[in-house]
Structure 1
Amino acid sequence: MNNKHKFLVCLIGILFFIGSCRKETIEQMEEAPVLSGIESDYYVLVRESIVIRPALQNRIDSIEWILDGRKVASALQYTFQAPGNAGTHSLIVIAHNRGNIVQEVATITVGRYQHVTTMTNTILKVEASQKFANLTDVKWEVLNPPSELFRLSDNRTSSALFASVSLGTYQLKVSSGGLVDTILVTVRQPDKPYSPYIAKVFDYLPAPGQFVNELPKFNAGDTYETMITKVSNDLVGEQTNMITLGGWGGYVVVGFDHTIVNVAGRRDFRIEGNAFGAAANPRPNAPFGGSCEPGVVMVAYDKNKNGKPDEDEWYEIRGSASFSAQQEPWYSLAVAKGIDVRTFRGYEMTYHRPASEIATGGPQNHIAIPNYIRWTDNQGQDGYKIKNTFHAQTYYPGWISEDKITYKGIRLARNGVDESSGGSYYVLYGFRYGYVDNYPNAHDNSGIDIDWAIDKDGNRVTLPGIDFVKVYNGIDQENGWLGEASTEIGRGEDLHVAGKKIDTINP
């Protein structure tokens, strides 16, 4: 071979090497295909079909579908036609592009039962087959549940409501006489984990009280919207601050980023307050009391699924004194002290803007303006809220332009007793259960069971879960130098998502 031929051979070799390197570089730079949206498990009834459509990213040259070791399709989607017998099938999805191969694996279960999928902490309406239509003696059961953190609510018809805190597949048995159906409900994890704490504040309107405009702070120019933002800053999340609801009827409405499941046999949530026990009650063997300022609890679930407590029905959490306080351990001693222990349902109170904000007297004179804020109610009663010298700001909500505000709800029996007989030591006794800011936060009695819910007529209701909570001050009482009873609230939490177990009671 002469030198010229040698040169050509070397040149061709160099060009081939450069081309090969360039090809390898291109292949290395190619981003691998991405397959998403393929579940790890699918369920389909015999002789029915499902269509699997993966979401695709980056360039893809081809997709292959391998069912039980056999190639069944080369397409962007695949329709699985279930055979006439139950069983389990393996599906592999393989995507190619130049220099890259990726795959996803799924299991397809073929069964003879209806199967539905839902997310944790979500209310699902489950429908039995058509053969149960119009029947009113339908029985629903959950067989061998993978967790006790679920709720199935039904009204003996062909539909039921189901919700679960825990992942897994729940087998629901539906029966009526000789008719039987089985429905499988697979509960999956949401893309974003839920927070156990309050996620949103929807409304806030405290009634006049000594901490109003201070917890949270009202500044000149603040509007309803800016006050909602301040309350949100105080209540949303794990780290919170106390806000006041003021006097009787003052309220706040909050929500969570999920449904709080009504787990049978457990208390489901709590809203913290600042209640505490008396340090030196002179009464021997006294029942629990100290600073207990109970807030009445209302709950609702997002039936129209719009994320707002607008057209959803509110239900009262029946507390131990929702209809009468006669069973409270302090009832007789309150009666002996001449305290008004009546319970008013359907109560209304109207507060009128104060005529003057000028305080008189000094710190030694605890009553600064005895006739401060006039009030009237629907029981033919009227009177005044007192302003003391410890809190000089206006007690009337500063962002409200109206000269009077009306609140509605239940007025509980008054629970504040002067145990000193001289006005120096008041004890606000605790109700047995069912209220906010009524027991210390660490006590089981701070927990609320959704199963205590009743409708407007006092009838018990069974809710699978709730999305919204309203708390309002249930006590109208002045306690000498302490001032009015005012519910304060702080952090709210879903006990199940927070991993806390508090057994309930059956009142």
Structure 2
Amino acid sequence: MKYQHIFTGFLTFVVLLISSCGKKDAELPEAAPAISGIEAEYYVVVRDSIQLTPVIASRVDSIVWVVNGVRVANALQYTFQAPVNPAVHSVIIMAYNSGNVFQKVVQITTGRYRNWEIKAHAVLTLQASSKFAGKNDVKWEVLSAPSHLYRLWPGKDTAQFIAMERGAYQLLVSSAELTDTLLVTVRQPVQAPSPYISKVFDYLPAPGQFVNELPRYDVGDTYETMVGKVNKQLAGENPVMITLGGWGGYVVVGFDHTIVNVAGKRDFRIQGNAFGAAANPRPNAPFGGSCEPGIVMVAYDRNKNGKPDEDEWYEIKGSGSFSAESEPWYSAAVSNKSDVRTFRNYEMTYNRPATEMPDSAPVNSFTRISNYISWADNQGQQGYKIKNAFHAQSYYPLWVKDNAITYKGIRLANNAIDESKQGSYYVLYAFRYGYVDNYPNGHDNSGIDIDWAIDKNGNKVNLPGIDFVKVYNGTDQENGWLGEASTEIGRGEDLHLLKADIATVHP
């Protein structure tokens, strides 16, 4: 009987405990509703309307809309009708459920200007209103902007606009007494763009002393494998240097956004490993040392397919793209009997080496094989590239199955001078501007201005920005014990995203 009372008491306690827990569970507060899918700011032309449809997380009992302090609706969505006069309006969205309320405040600006909205780094094509039809003197200009990091390319009835900073840009379209004012609202993309290379699309170095080493070729590697290796080495903030080999060797890279072509500024940089000579014996010599200029091609992703198409490429016109006569070292190179010719439509074919066996009687201390890789160009010239004593691997890209590779492009004047006159001290002088691996990375002249772009006929082109960059070695020269001049490539940079403000030069 005693134990029965104890058991009955214990059972009563358990029942009360369970009942208490159930009551507590039932009294847990419901999750508050959350509002998304609505921007913090909108612009609406007077007499126009905008429908606001929020996305509500969690259960909701009621949604109340308050405009300028007045309750105007109780509904899942609301259509705001802009009045006839410009003003700034406050819209409060309040979502209720049991014991909870969540609100979001939206500012709607109304004005008489037609409004356009784009994301930063996106190109917007603006269309003039019908009242400008048939006018030949239509002008486009920016009246006000929150930043100078934008570009407006005016046409006749249309204009292209791109900006990288958020905010409102006021534009004027005019023709004689006719005027229209446009407002372009730029918003930041959901994911912030990276200032660095995001992808490598193509890679084919020409034969050279660092090929198959930078990056390393492993037996069995294919073209796809090597492009993947280069992508791993170049993408991002902390890349590993790669080589382009001899003349014509190239790499094609892309960014995850359109780099804005800002007027009067240099827009991007592809780093190399150029440096100045420490003990150049020439008095008052211009800058030089190890300057191995890579020619730059750029492409704007006009059709937005995410890859560089052949008809989108334009040349960056560097200071020596047509002639080296204006370079400060030109007369010295002529006196040195250097080949200072510039070829605009140059082609060179390299042949796979017949042997990797060293010469039995080397011609000098730095030559391993004298007649190593045979070559011929479209100027009637031919010869052999040597294999030096410092790099024993094959200089021919081993993942290429073809026994000959032909490269096409511009061949720049030779910029190397043996200042020792004895083959011991070569100085490779810098071109004034427009190339990669031509100046040290911290120098302003390593920056590239998209406004230097020209078409295949040498005509200036107007690009709002660029998405892709191709770099290829622009010189064909052997420098004694130093070996061939080979462009090396490192980090790619959007100078505007990195807050680098570098003034341009005008060719």
Give the TM-score normalised by the residue count of structure 2: 0.93
Q: What are the superposed Cα offsets for residues 215-272 of structure 1, whole Å, 9 maximum, x if unpaired?
A: 0000001111111111111111111111000011111111111111111111111111
Q: 1:102-113, aligned counterparts within 5 Å?
A: 102-113=102-113
1:463 aligns with 2:484: no
**Percent identity over paired residues:** 67
- Identify if the C-alpha distance between structure 1 residues 230 and 461 changes in structure 2 by more than 3 Å, giving closer, same or farther: same
- Identify if the C-alpha distance between structure 1 residues 404 and 168 changes in structure 2 by more than 3 Å, giving closer, same or farther: same
Corresponding position of 1:396: 396
Shift of 1:134: 4.8
After superposing the two structures, state which structure 1 stretch, 26-35 or 167-176, moved more.
26-35
Corresponding position of 1:11: none
- Asked whether the equivalents of residues 172 and 179 of structure 2 are also in contact (C-alpha less than 8 Å), the reply is yes
After superposing the two structures, state which structure 1 stretch, 389-398 or 66-75, moved more.
66-75
- The one-letter code matched in structure 1 to 2:259 is I
- Asked whether the equivalents of residues 438 and 446 of structure 2 are also in contact (C-alpha less than 8 Å), the reply is yes
Stretches of structure 2 that go unaligned for 5 or more consecutive residues are 1-17
The alignment's C-alpha RMSD in Å is 1.9
Instruction: Tell me the distance in 1 between the aligned counterparts of 2:50 and 2:23.
Output: 40
Q: 1:47-58, aligned counterparts within 5 Å?
A: 47-58=47-58
Instruction: Tell me the distance in 1 between the aligned counterparts of 2:291 and 2:310.
Output: 33
Instruction: Tell me the distance in 2 between the aligned counterparts of 1:363 and 1:186.
Output: 69
Shift of 1:363: 11
Corresponding position of 1:165: 164
Instruction: Tell me the distance in 2 between the aligned counterparts of 1:466 and 1:109.
Output: 33
- Identify if the C-alpha distance between structure 1 residues 338 and 363 changes in structure 2 by more than 3 Å, giving closer, same or farther: closer
Corresponding position of 1:37: 37
Q: Secondary structure at the match of 2:51?
A: strand
Shift of 1:22: 6.5
- The one-letter code matched in structure 1 to 2:448 is I
Instruction: Tell me the distance in 2 between the aligned counterparts of 1:91 and 1:25.
Output: 37
- Identify if the C-alpha distance between structure 1 residues 21 and 60 changes in structure 2 by more than 3 Å, giving closer, same or farther: farther
- Asked whether the equivalents of residues 362 and 369 of structure 2 are also in contact (C-alpha less than 8 Å), the reply is no
Instruction: Tell me the distance in 2 between the aligned counterparts of 1:399 and 1:388.
Output: 21
Instruction: Tell me the distance in 2 between the aligned counterparts of 1:362 and 1:385.
Output: 14
Corresponding position of 1:252: 251
1:357 aligns with 2:356: yes
1:68 aligns with 2:59: no
- Identify if the C-alpha distance between structure 1 residues 43 and 23 changes in structure 2 by more than 3 Å, giving closer, same or farther: farther
Instruction: Tell me the distance in 1 between the aligned counterparts of 2:134 and 2:58.
Output: 52
Instruction: Tell me the distance in 2 between the aligned counterparts of 1:299 and 1:31.
Output: 52
Give the TM-score normalised by the residue count of structure 1: 0.93
- Asked whether the equivalents of residues 29 and 99 of structure 2 are also in contact (C-alpha less than 8 Å), the reply is no
Corresponding pairs, count:
490
Instruction: Tell me the distance in 2 between the aligned counterparts of 1:461 and 1:221.
Output: 43
Corresponding position of 1:282: 281
1:300 aligns with 2:299: yes
Instruction: Tell me the distance in 1 between the aligned counterparts of 2:22 and 2:109.
Output: 47
1:200 aligns with 2:207: no
Corresponding position of 1:87: 87
Instruction: Tell me the distance in 2 between the aligned counterparts of 1:72 and 1:211.
Output: 72
- Asked whether the equivalents of residues 169 and 183 of structure 2 are also in contact (C-alpha less than 8 Å), the reply is yes
Instruction: Tell me the distance in 1 between the aligned counterparts of 2:44 and 2:354.
Output: 71
**Runs of 4+ in structure 1 over 3 Å off:** 18-29, 133-136, 361-364
Instruction: Tell me the distance in 1 between the aligned counterparts of 2:378 and 2:336.
Output: 25
Q: 1:417-436, aligned counterparts within 5 Å?
A: 417-436=417-436
Corresponding position of 1:409: 409
Corresponding position of 2:373: 373
- Asked whether the equivalents of residues 344 and 411 of structure 1 are also in contact (C-alpha less than 8 Å), the reply is yes
- Identify if the C-alpha distance between structure 1 residues 266 and 23 changes in structure 2 by more than 3 Å, giving closer, same or farther: farther
- The one-letter code matched in structure 2 to 1:357 is E
Corresponding position of 1:495: 495
1:177 aligns with 2:184: no
Instruction: Tell me the distance in 2 between the aligned counterparts of 1:113 and 1:165.
Output: 22
- The one-letter code matched in structure 2 to 1:448 is I
- Asked whether the equivalents of residues 301 and 312 of structure 1 are also in contact (C-alpha less than 8 Å), the reply is no
Instruction: Tell me the distance in 2 between the aligned counterparts of 1:20 and 1:115.
Output: 60
- Asked whether the equivalents of residues 362 and 370 of structure 2 are also in contact (C-alpha less than 8 Å), the reply is no
